[in-house]
Structure 1
Amino acid sequence: MSTPEKSAWPKWVRDDDSVVACTEKVKVMTENFDEIKQIAQDAFEDGLLMEVSEEQMREALHRLVDMLVNPYQKNH
Structure 2
Amino acid sequence: MPPDAPSSPPARSYWLDTEGRPISCLEKIKVLDQNLEEIRGACQDALEDAVLMGCDEEQIRAVLRQVVDGLVNPYAKG
- Give 1:29 shift: 0.3
Number of matched residues?
75
Q: Is 2:68 aligned against 1:65? A: yes
Q: CA RMSD in A?
A: 1.4
Structure 2: where are the runs of 5+ without partners?
none
- Tell me which stretches of 4 or more aligned residues in structure 1 moved more than 4 Å: none
Structure 1: where are the runs of 5+ without partners?
none
- Give 1:19 shift: 1.2
Structure scoring higher RCO (CA < 8 A, sep ≥ 6) equals 2
Q: TM-score, normalised by structure 1?
A: 0.89
Whole-angstrom distance in 1 between the partners of 2:25 and 2:46: 32
Q: TM-score, normalised by structure 2?
A: 0.87
| Identical amino acids, percent of aligned pairs | 40
